[in-house]
A = this chain, B = another copy of it.
Amino acid sequence: MMVTEKRYSWLRLLLKYRGTAMQRIRGRMALTTLLAVVVTVIDLNVRFFHPDLTTIPFTLIGLALSIFLGFRNNTSYDRFWEGRKLWGGLVNTTRTITRQILTLVNAPADRSDESEAVAAFRREMVYRIIGYTHALRLHLRDQDRLEELEPFLAAAEIEALRPELNRPTAILQSAAFRLRDAWQRGWIHSYHLPVLEQSLTVLTDLQGGCERIKSTPIPLSYTSLIHQLVAIYCFALPFGIVKTVGVFTPVVVGIVAYAFYGLDAIGDEIENPFGMDANDLPLSGLSRLIEVNLRQRLGETDLPPLLKPKAGHLT
């Protein structure tokens, strides 16, 4: 899902809760702050309580932490943004292939009686591309809802998809077979078939890019090391600052922990951008957009509405 009401005023953004990192990290936050309160209370009341770590360890470890968190943050965002680019590429290439189908598939000049068959073929192909988009969305979200493809593909074709491990690829394959049929019937010029074939290759590459992001998390070594360092840092912090900061210790620990847990949690959230987390990509919205764009190119006017965000979130 993507949070869409993007034009918050500065003040409203300060106070926002839903869709922000705080929602995910409240458990850790509570635990950490509680520990800080306990340490502070003991320190203020018990005379000879002095496990004073000083702030030196935090400066030293801060160096490694900043490398880790900076890396973690950039990597997660790159994955999010590459995912977005891939779906942007899908928007572009479905438009391109639609344009190519509408202009490069034609009845030969001397066989105008075939023009209706050609028009039906074009429509079938554009609908197949729409079906491909929805199938890819379902594939990336591990959703087994073949029925969502019914408006776009023939029943037999949908049935044939059932045993397929990779359904979007199977749809592209049948698109390629149909293009070959059209070429063999003389509807597509031999010089122009490679142009359409090239667009299928681009779709294959876009799909593979999405699958790559989905199937390859950031190496576990990183994630575990970062999680551990952040936790150690935050849990040990009260022992390091209570002698200096005194009664404000829980506040300071709370803010620092908020920053670090927050950074870590955002990374977790957008690492797989095709999921259903609050800040993930709105695949449903994008595939609906593609559907409407393409059907409008076929001259249809009875179009479904674009998806609207619900409570500020678009799935």
A interface residues, Cβ below 8 angstroms from B? 2-3, 6, 10, 13-14, 16, 19-21, 27-28, 51, 53-71, 73-75, 77, 80, 84-85, 88-89, 91-92, 95-96, 99-100, 102-104, 106, 109, 163-166, 169-170, 172-173, 176-177, 179-180, 184, 189-195, 197-198, 200-201, 204-205, 207-209, 211-212, 216-217, 219-225, 227-229, 231-232, 237, 241, 244-245, 248, 252, 255-256, 258-260, 262-263, 265-266, 269-270, 278-279, 292-293, 296-297, 301, 306
A224 in contact with B28 (CB, 8 Å): no
User: Could you say which of B3, B102, B109 contacts A184, with CB atoms under 8 Å apart?
Assistant: B109
Contacts of A6 in B (CB 8 A): 217, 220
Shortest distance from the beta carbon of A111 to any chain B beta carbon, whole Å: 13
Contacts of A269 in B (CB 8 A): 219, 221
Contacts of A14 in B (CB 8 A): 224, 227-228, 231
A221 in contact with B63 (CB, 8 Å): no
User: Given A66-B67, A165-B292, A255-B232, are A59 and B61 also a contact pair (CB < 8 Å)?
Assistant: no
Contacts of A77 in B (CB 8 A): 71, 75, 219
- Report the Cα distance A229→B28, complex, angstroms: 18
- Among residues of B, the one whose C-beta sits closest to the C-beta of A272 is B6
Shortest distance from the beta carbon of A198 to any chain B beta carbon, whole Å: 8
Instruction: Please indicate which of the listed interface residues A70, A80, A100, A224 has the most CB atoms of chain B within 10 Å of its own CB.
Output: A224
User: Could you say which of B55, B99, B189, B270 contacts A172, with CB atoms under 8 Å apart?
Assistant: B99
User: Could you say which of B65, B195, B201 contacts A194, with CB atoms under 8 Å apart?
Assistant: B195
User: Given A99-B172, A165-B293, A266-B225, are A212 and B85 also a contact pair (CB < 8 Å)?
Assistant: yes
User: Could you say which of B75, B88, B103, B207 contacts A176, with CB atoms under 8 Å apart?
Assistant: B103
- Among residues of B, the one whose C-beta sits closest to the C-beta of A239 is B248
- Among residues of B, the one whose C-beta sits closest to the C-beta of A57 is B252
B180 in contact with A106 (CB, 8 Å): yes
Shortest distance from the beta carbon of A161 to any chain B beta carbon, whole Å: 11
Contacts of A244 in B (CB 8 A): 54, 56
A and B contact pairs by CB, cutoff 8 A, 18 listed: A19-B221, A56-B244, A56-B245, A57-B255, A59-B59, A61-B255, A63-B65, A66-B66, A71-B73, A88-B208, A89-B208, A91-B211, A92-B208, A96-B204, A99-B173, A170-B297, A221-B278, A225-B259
